[in-house]
Amino acid sequence: MKLTDLRGILQYIPQFREKTFILAIDGAIVTDDNFATLMLDVALLWSLNIRVVLVHGASAQIKSLAEHHQVKASDLDGAGVTDATTLDLALTAANRLTHEILEGLSANDLRAAYANVIVAHPVGILQGVNHLFTGKVERVDADLLHSLLAQGVVPVIPPLGFDGDGKTYRVNSDGVALAVAEQLKAIKLIFVTAQDGLIYRGTLIPQMLVGELGRLIQQDAGGFAPEMISKAQHATAACAAGIPRVHVINGTLDEGLLGEVFSNHGLGTLIYANEYEHIRPAKKKDVRAIQLLTKQAVEAEELMKRSRGVIEKSLGDYFIFEIDKNPVACVALHVYPEENQGELACLYVSSSHENQGVGRKLIQFVENKARELGLRELLALSTQAFTYFQSKGGFVEGTPDDLPPPRREKYEQSGRRSKVLVKKLG
């Protein structure tokens, strides 16, 4: 690990300190080789004063127990009908898993406790079908959770609930995680699964605004794998209930959890309730940010030096790429109306966010703007990133003759001898 990675992590600490994360772990992950690393990562989060609550599922274990005993489970994930045999399997599987999690946490010197906090009632009869021992979360005993957390104890919650008469019901672990996250006003709900994240029609969704995910589920739920649709639905519900960030990660990957939590672009899926990254027009207060952002590139002669006055004069041409309200990149589009050409300029991505597609997003953004304006051609001048514009932006090498006359004059005067790149927009 590099020291600069540590700096990257440190920027998140004030944001996360004393806040609550809910980790909803699929049963299959508990028996995975990476489980010990995952528990170590939980210990690391605790050491940073992040309160972590663990909720777990049990469907993989119910399935194998049913096979072992040669009985048929009426349902695996607590969403369908739970008959008496399946409840029995669920109790055995869940107790075993809770125990394994407690073991994993104590191996990392964490104090942990089985938290009996889910008050449930039977789902009852739906469309004429009695769901028997399948329960619905009625209430979460938040007081008990708060007192455990205050004493530095990690609560571990199985997918089981009790009613007032002490009867046990099998509840869906995604539903438990959502209810707990809502009650504790968690800032993150993280589904730890055996998949890379939410995959829609074969492609991983790296990040998505909740409204967009809601639309996808409504219009094409079949585009998600059946075992992931519940995660997608609960992610949507969680954001609607005020949880700002929901992650779906692969718990079998070494850096799955930390990579997702301590980076603006993790390996899994992030569903966010509000604008997380966006491109916006620069404001006067951004002039300094633009200068600070581009300072290094100016020194390395990658970008032309621009004074405060020069930026202010054409401030309307500049755009800022923000991640969680931090400016991490910038770009400008200068328009030459007479020649019907545009120049993409001052493209810079801060080194902490390089190689994550931000540059490409900004090129695409400027290109879209240029098309909206009906420009015929987009130009870019670059000394050290010309192959980038060619391979990632679809530009081709041009000559200074392609530049509009006023720009050509400045080009000759600067002596920078940048390469001229052109993209026809027709």
Ligand X SMILES: CC(C)(COP(=O)(O)OP(=O)(O)OC[C@H]1O[C@@H](n2cnc3c(N)ncnc32)[C@H](O)[C@@H]1OP(=O)(O)O)[C@@H](O)C(=O)NCCC(=O)NCCS
Contact positions vs ligand X (CB under 6 A): 297, 302-303, 345, 347-349, 354-360, 380, 382, 384-385, 387-388, 392
H-run or E-run covering 13: helix 13-16
In the bound state with ligand X, the residue whose beta carbon lies nearer, of 307 and 384, is: 384
Backbone φ and ψ of 191, nearest 5° = -85, 115
CB of 358 to ligand X, least distance (A): 4
355 within 8 A of 399, measured Cβ to Cβ: no
CB of 384 to ligand X, least distance (A): 5
329 within 8 A of 364, measured Cβ to Cβ: no
CB of 387 to ligand X, least distance (A): 4
In the bound state with ligand X, the residue whose beta carbon lies nearer, of 192 and 347, is: 347
Question: Residue 150 corresponds to which amino acid?
Answer: A
In the bound state with ligand X, the residue whose beta carbon lies nearer, of 230 and 350, is: 350
In the bound state with ligand X, the residue whose beta carbon lies nearer, of 111 and 360, is: 360
CB of 265 to ligand X, least distance (A): 10
In the bound state with ligand X, the residue whose beta carbon lies nearer, of 57 and 266, is: 266
- The Cα–Cα gap between 54 and 171 comes to 15
225 within 8 A of 282, measured Cβ to Cβ: no
CB of 370 to ligand X, least distance (A): 15
In the bound state with ligand X, the residue whose beta carbon lies nearer, of 336 and 388, is: 388
- The Cα–Cα gap between 140 and 120 comes to 9
Residue nearest to ligand X (CB): 359
CB of 347 to ligand X, least distance (A): 4
In the bound state with ligand X, the residue whose beta carbon lies nearer, of 85 and 390, is: 390
Structure tokens at 236: 């949507």
- The Cα–Cα gap between 15 and 107 comes to 28
144-150-153-159 Cα dihedral, nearest 10 degrees = 30
Backbone φ and ψ of 341, nearest 5° = -120, 160
In the bound state with ligand X, the residue whose beta carbon lies nearer, of 275 and 354, is: 354
399 within 8 A of 422, measured Cβ to Cβ: no
Question: Residue 199 corresponds to which amino acid?
Answer: I
Coil, helix or strand at residue 207? strand
In the bound state with ligand X, the residue whose beta carbon lies nearer, of 58 and 366, is: 366
Backbone φ and ψ of 245, nearest 5° = -135, 125
In the bound state with ligand X, the residue whose beta carbon lies nearer, of 147 and 351, is: 351
H-run or E-run covering 343: strand 341-349
Cα–Cα nearest to 171, from 82, 60, 54:
82
- The Cα–Cα gap between 72 and 83 comes to 10
Which residues on neighbouring strands pair with residue 161, listed in sequence order?
Answer: 169
CB of 354 to ligand X, least distance (A): 4
* Terminal Cα-to-Cα distance of the chain (whole angstroms): 47
150-151-154-160 Cα dihedral, nearest 10 degrees = -80
* DSSP state letter for 108: T
